[in-house]
Structure 1
C-alpha cells in the first residue's frame, strides 16, 4: 500500500497516460514516481486532458515537476523554451521562477500560442 493514497487517487488516470515512458523505464519505478507527485492544479490537469485528447506533445506531470525542481534549486530567473506547444511545461517553469522571473514561450503555430496564452492567464502566470 502506498503511503500517498490521496495522490494515487488524483493520478488514477495517469497510469495509462500517453506521456508515460512505455517500456523505457521499469513500470514499478514509474508507478512510484507518479504515486508521490503532488496533485496538479486545475489548469495543468485540464491541459493534460487536452493534450491526451488532441495528441498534443507535452512533457507530462513527472517531467514537469522535475523541470520545476531544477529551476527552483538553480534559482533560475530566466527560461527560454523552444517549441512550447500549448504551454504545459511553460507553466511549470513560470511557477518555478516566481513573479520576478521571466519565461520565454515559443511555438511556430499561432493556434498553440492562442491556447497557451489563455492557459497562462488562467494559471496566473501571464505576467512572466
Structure 2
C-alpha cells in the first residue's frame, strides 16, 4: 500500500477519538469491504472543518454517511451538510447513522446524481468533498467551484490510490504508460490523474496532497 499501515495506525491514535457510531461504521466497512476514508482521514475532515469554521459542506458521494459524520463533528449546531448518494439503501443507512449520532437535523439527504443535485443548491459551500465516480471528478469540481468562496476548500479522495494501485496513478501523473503496471483499474486512475492535472491548472485554487488513507487532494480557493 502507498501509506504504511503503521503510519496509518499511528495517525489514527494521535487523531480525535471515535465514538460508538464511528466504531460500528468502521467495523461494517472492514467486514463488507465498503470503502470509507477511515478514521485517520476522518480526523482530518473534522479538523479542516473546525479550522475553517465551516458552516456548509457538500458531498459528491456519501455512502452510508461515514465522512459526513466526521464533518459534522467539526461543525457547530448551525452547520449543515448535503449528502448525495445514488444507492437509496446506503442513503437510508446514512440517515440512521447520523440520527444515532444526533446529527440528522443538520443534514440534507439527496438521492441521485450529485453533479445534477448540486445545481439545485445555488449557495456557498465552505467545503466540498469529491468521492464519486473517478472519471467524473473533473465534472464534479467544475459543478461546485463557483460556489466555493475564497478560503474554502475542495477535498478529493483517492488522490493516492483507490480501485487502482499507486504505481498506476504515479505513472500517469509523470506522463508514463500505466499499461506497464498491468493494473486492470487503470481507467479509474486516469480519472484521478486528469483531476489532479485539472485542479493544478486552475489559478484560483492551490492544491496540496494529504498522504493518509487513500490520499486527499486539498484545493483551497485563494482568489
TM-score (norm 2): 0.45
Q: Tell me, yes or no, if structure 1 residue 72 matches structure 2 residue 72.
A: no
The structure having more radius of gyration, on CA atoms, is 2
Give matches, 1:5-84, under 5 Å: 22=1, 24-84=2-62
Distance 2:12 2:90 in 1: 27
Sort the Cα spacing of 1:127 and 1:73 in 2 relative to 1 into closer, same or farther, 3 A.
same
Unaligned segments of structure 1, at least 5 residues: 1-21
Q: Tell me, yes or no, if structure 1 residue 89 matches structure 2 residue 67.
A: yes
| Matched residue, 2:83 | 105
Work out whether residues 80 and 103 of structure 1, in 8 Å CA contact, stay in contact via their aligned partners in 2. Answer: yes
Q: Tell me, yes or no, if structure 1 residue 117 matches structure 2 residue 95.
A: yes
Higher strand share: 2
Sort the Cα spacing of 1:72 and 1:53 in 2 relative to 1 into closer, same or farther, 3 A.
same
User: 1:29-86, CA deviations, whole angstroms, 9 ceiling, x for partnerless residues?
Assistant: 3343133134310000000111111121110000000011001001110000111100
Aligned length, in residue pairs: 106
Sort the Cα spacing of 1:112 and 1:93 in 2 relative to 1 into closer, same or farther, 3 A.
same
Distance 2:88 2:4 in 1: 38
Unaligned segments of structure 2, at least 5 residues: 107-223
Shift in Å, 1:26? 4.0
